[in-house]
Amino acid sequence: MQVEYIILIILILVLTIGSNVVVAIKQVKVDGDILIGGLFPVHEAGRNGAECGVLKPDQGVQRLQAMLFALQEVNNDRSLLPNIRLGAQILDTCSDDSYALKQTFVFIKAMLTSGDEIVCPDGGRPIMGNQSVALVIGAASSQVSVMVASMLQLLKVS
């Protein structure tokens, strides 16, 4: 599963570095028992009405890769968290404060819609539902981090 994301990131880099093509993948999701959120500026801010601009391989993509690598290392070492698998939902802030706040609502929506009230037609729990994040890593700028933290604090997310 992790290999698929790395291949996807490499493909994005190959397609966008040195060209004017804008590929705006705004989310990476890795399944797990505990979900960690991430907010990183994978793209530059958009121009002329576009939400996102060109890819930022040296800043945003490296942070995304570092988080995925850390998750993989923790998950591969069964002595750290036995019987628990960490997952991630990583969102692109597109280097824009307003867009970062919009992306934060993805986390908030999942928190408000997850829980015991979601059941399958047979009465069982869903295998994949709206899983809420336990914590959020990021954002890249202090200004965005303070705004995001203020919003998430209302829902008891650190």
Is residue 91 classed as helix, strand or coil in its secondary structure?
A: strand
Cα torsion 73, 31, 81, 63: sign: positive
Q: What is the largest CA-CA distance in the chain?
A: 52
Confidence (pLDDT) at 111: 75
| CA–CA dist 71, 81 (Å, integer) | 11
Instruction: Tell me how far apart the alpha carbons of residues 118 and 132 are, in angstroms, rounded to a whole number.
Output: 13
pLDDT at 69: 95
Q: What is the pLDDT along the chain (158 residues), one digit of tens a residue?
A: 555 555 555 545 544 444 444 444 578 899 999 999 999 999 999 888 888 889 888 888 999 999 999 999 999 999 999 999 999 999 999 988 888 888 888 888 877 775 555 556 676 655 555 678 888 898 888 888 888 888 888 777 65
Determine phi and psi for 32, rounding to 5 degrees: -175, 170
- Provide the pLDDT for residue 117: 55
Domain 2-115+129-153, second-level architecture: 3-Layer(aba) Sandwich (3.40)
pLDDT at 49: 81
Q: Looking at residue 101, what is its pLDDT? A: 87
Residues 64, 5: contact at Cβ < 8 Å? no
Half-sphere exposure of 116 (CA within 13 A, CB side): 0
Q: Which two tokens stand for residue 80?
A: 């750290």
Instruction: Write down the pLDDT at residue 11.
Output: 47
Q: What are the tokens at 86?
A: 């960490």
